[in-house]
Amino acid sequence: MNCPKCKSEERVKNGIIKGRQRYKCRDCSYNYTVEKRSGEYSDETKKNALHLYLEGLGFRSIGRYLNVSNVAVLNWIKHFGVKEKEIESEVNPIKYVEIDEMHSYIGSKKLLLDMDYC
C-alpha cells in the first residue's frame, strides 16, 4: 500500500479512526487509511450491473439482485454512458446499425373485416 498523495512506501501506523487503521506517510506527512469504504464496490459488481441493465432489468431489481442501492446502480449506468460518449467521439461515426426483432408501422394499421374482401 502506497501513499495516495506521493506514492511513497514509507509509512508508519498513526492510530485508529472509526475502527480503521490510519497511516502517516514519512515523506509528505499525509494521513490516510487503506481499507475499503462502505460505498465502494468492485469493478466486477459494476460490470454485472451494466450487463443486467442491458438485458432489460430495472434499476431496483438490479439493486436487489446485487445487494446494492438502486441509486448506486443508476449512477454507475450514467457513468458508463459518459464513458461511452467519450469513446464515441474518438472513434469514427457509426455507419451501420443492426436492429433485431423490431416492428414498426408507417401510417396507420388498418383492420380488415370480412366485408372488405367483397
19-29 residue pLDDT tens: 888 999 999 99
Assign 108 to helix, strand or coil: coil
Check pLDDT > 60 for residue 13.
yes
- Residue 14: which H helix or E strand, with range? strand 11-17
The answer to whether 63 and 72 are in contact (CB under 8 A) is yes
Q: Which three cell numbers stand for residue 34?
A: 487503506
Q: Give the integer Cα–Cα distance in Å for 36 and 52.
A: 25
Residue-level pLDDT at 111: 63
What pLDDT was estimated at residue 46? 92
User: What count of Cα atoms within 13 Å lies in the side-chain half-sphere of residue 117?
Assistant: 3
pLDDT one-digit tens code per residue, 43-96: 899 999 999 999 999 999 999 999 999 999 999 999 888 877 766 666 666 677
pTM, to two decimals: 0.47
**pLDDT-derived band of residue 104, with 50, 70 and 90 as boundaries?**
low
